[in-house]
Amino acid sequence: MHRNRMNKLTDIVLGEAVVMLLARDDSLTATSVATRLEAMATGEADPARREAIMLALGEVQAELSRSRESRDATALAFDPSQPPGRGKKN
């Protein structure tokens, strides 16, 4: 399948996962979207759609990982448990 068509299909299945969560009044988080995509992948018979679902899942998981890394870095930078003056001095 052409790259452009696969990108479109990936966007479609990601949108379907979000719509399913909204229709159920479930929380809309990266984790809930990833869980929904995993469920969609297990029941999908069409190889192209299954590939698109796995690509979408990879995108969501990568974003979740980046978000956690960013949050962890911020927490370390502003960690009140560290005594003042322990940083590098010029």
What confidence score (pLDDT) does residue 77 get? 62
Structure confidence at residue 2 (pLDDT)? 75
Whole-number Å distance between alpha carbons of 49 and 82: 49
**Domain assignment present for 85:** no
Is 39 part of any domain?
A: yes
- The tens place of each residue's pLDDT in the chain, 90 residues long, gives 578 999 999 999 999 999 999 999 999 999 999 999 999 999 999 999 999 999 999 999 998 887 766 665 665 566 666 555 555 555
User: 52-69 b/e with 16+ CB inside 10 Å = b?
Assistant: bbbbbbebbeeeeeeeee
The pLDDT value recorded for residue 33 is 96
Tokens of 46: 């069409």
- Residue 48 is part of which domain span? 3-77
Element (H, E) at 23: helix 3-23
Q: Alpha carbon 15 to chain centroid distance?
A: 13
Answer whether residue 16 is part of any domain: yes
The reply to whether 88 falls in a domain is no
Asked if the structure places residue 84 within a domain, the reply is no
Report if residue 33 sits inside a domain: yes
In this prediction, residue 64 carries a pLDDT of 84
Number of folded domains that form the chain: 1
Q: In CATH, what number is assigned to the domain containing residue 45?
A: 1.20.5.5260
